[in-house]
Structure 1
């Protein structure tokens, strides 16, 4: 566990203070918001595309090979981040999300910092991520933390791909 201010970052699954320390609610909020921003609003997790619904309903299986970090405030999960298992010296950051009520307190920066520390400790040389181009605040955060826009590895329109050496 890494504590930064009033928020602790823990690896999930693990020993968490309560059942509230689960990424499912955060993942649901992330996917529902993203679908709405893409113009494909859905009102319920059951309406999400299969691969996203699987992450919400069974994150333990969906991310079995990955590192899931949760930001915990008291006993409530207020942020999450998934870092994929390394492949060819590279890991990918996915599903970075902070509960809107907890934003502006450095939670996303803290999660990314812990993820980058983990990458360095495990011998990863590069971390990459993708972000929708309308998420300008997220892009600015990634750039402040040393990520640079790079050639896209994803065919989806409006996706910005970024990477950073560790």
Structure 2
């Protein structure tokens, strides 16, 4: 049974992402799971494409143009999300991930709520995201939060693009 303590969502100070306990592991798990779901599993982070290894090793550098929000439980990261700075009125949500042991506790909803609030404060009029079609739980969550499917801006097969007002 999951521990039902509430999680806190925070925005670590610039330059400190590398020191957030558990963040690197969350990002690594996200990418390893995604690669496996795409049918190209790799045994560990060393097998990931370089752009993804950079996110796991140096998140401050990889996400320098965005904002990383972290859900913590007892000082350890149990979820994360990246919000890009608005461009032409639109921000993008990326890398939403919740530790599997913490799922079912509202972590993803809390992260998305904080991400949408941040995007709105940053001046975004719309927020978009992309999600793999097989992530049905995520698709359902996004739909409940008002995201709708829009024409794809990404050429990768099986990617669903969604958008909503900020």
TM-score, L = length of structure 2? 0.92
Contact 1:9 1:70 in 2 (8 A): yes
In structure 1, distance between residues paired with 2:93 and 2:32: 19
Which residue in the other structure is 1:86 paired with?
Answer: 86
Whether 2:131 is the aligned partner of 1:131: answer yes
Structure 2 counterparts to residues 134-145 of structure 1, below 5 A = 134-145=134-145
In structure 1, distance between residues paired with 2:118 and 2:143: 19
Secondary structure of the 2:104 match is coil
Contact 1:13 1:60 in 2 (8 A): no
In structure 1, distance between residues paired with 2:137 and 2:22: 25
In structure 2, distance between residues paired with 1:160 and 1:47: 26
Offset, 1:28: 0.1
Structure 2 counterparts to residues 83-122 of structure 1, below 5 A = 83-122=83-122
Moved over 6 A (4+): none
5+ unaligned residues in a row in structure 1: which ranges? none
In structure 2, distance between residues paired with 1:100 and 1:23: 14
5+ unaligned residues in a row in structure 2: which ranges? none
Contact 1:21 1:70 in 2 (8 A): no
In structure 2, distance between residues paired with 1:22 and 1:64: 19
Q: Over aligned residue pairs, what C-alpha RMSD do you find?
A: 1.6
In structure 2, distance between residues paired with 1:143 and 1:108: 13
